[in-house]
């Protein structure tokens, strides 16, 4: 059985979708660790309810990124983590970290990359006036939201949409797409060839 870690910063609705998918045997992995940079993240509560190990670090307490990343790496090694899913983790990982887990870290992003990378993607897309919003699941490389694309899906923007109403529909897509991508990842069915990801 492969070991999975999920990194979070916020409410953790995607973490919940992953927990549920593991519970029903859709994702064939052990959810062995949840890592958070935010002590108040509701995601931590969701993990604790399921007796999943959690690791919280306060980034402000360390002098630089390598200092806290080495602690994270130790926690991951202790549990023999094979794969990492970032689920609303609002922090950039160093190139050393992403290299160590090359093709083993994925992220979910609430926009159709390469449009609207960064932390306010949904607002940026709405403000821009796009007619189609969407979701991207991608491998994490040393850049910001720049790794090879695994899956995407689109959601039409309606005239009356607010950030909240659109986010609601984007979340529904995310909660379907992310467990599917993680399932393929842990089953070794994602083959990366340059920028292309083939599903086998
Ligand atoms: C998700 O919508 C995810 O796509 C986004 O944060 C949200 C977390 O929600 N991630 C990013 O914006 C990454 N740049 P959740 O905590 O309810 O899963």
pLDDT tens digits for range 24-80: 999 999 999 999 999 999 999 999 999 999 999 999 999 999 999 999 999 999 999
Distance separating alpha carbons of residues 105 and 4, to the nearest angstrom:
10
Task: Say how many Å lie between the CA of residue 139 and the centre of ligand 1.
Answer: 15
Cα–Cα distance list, 27 to 31, 89, 168 (Å): 9, 20, 24
109, 137, 138: residue to mutate for ligand 1 pocket, most atoms within 8 A of CB = 109
Number of domains in the chain: 1
pLDDT tens digits for range 112-156: 999 999 999 999 999 999 999 999 999 999 999 999 999 999 999
CATH number where 164 lies: 3.40.50.170
pLDDT of residue 39: 98
* Domain ranges, residue 162: 2-199
Query: Per-residue pLDDT averaged across 99-124, rounded?
Result: 98
Task: Kindly state if the Cβ of 12 falls inside 6 Å of ligand 1.
Answer: yes
Query: Per-residue pLDDT averaged across 159-168, rounded?
Result: 98
């Amino acid at each position: 059985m492969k070991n999975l870690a999920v990194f979070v910063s916020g409410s953790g609705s995607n973490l919940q979708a992953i927990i549920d998918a593991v519970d029903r045997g859709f994702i064939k992995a052990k959810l062995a660790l949840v890592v958070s940079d935010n002590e108040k993240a509701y995601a931590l509560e969701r993990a604790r309810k399921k007796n999943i190990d959690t690791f919280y670090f306060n980034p402000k307490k360390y002098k630089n990124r390598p200092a806290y990343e080495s602690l994270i790496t130790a926690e991951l090694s202790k549990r023999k983590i094979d794969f990492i899913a970032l689920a609303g983790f609002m922090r950039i990982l160093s190139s050393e970290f992403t290299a160590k887990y090359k093709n083993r870290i994925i992220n979910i992003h609430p926009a159709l990359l390469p449009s609207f990378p960064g932390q306010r993607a949904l607002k940026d897309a709405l403000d821009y006036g796009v007619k189609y919003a969407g979701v991207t699941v991608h491998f994490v490389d040393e850049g910001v939201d720049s790794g090879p694309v695994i899956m995407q899906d689109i959601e039409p923007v309606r005239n009356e949409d607010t950030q909240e109403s659109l986010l609601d529909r984007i979340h529904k897509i995310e909660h379907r797409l992310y467990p599917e991508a993680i399932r393929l990842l842990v089953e070794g069915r994602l083959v990366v060839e340059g920028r292309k990801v083939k599903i086998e």
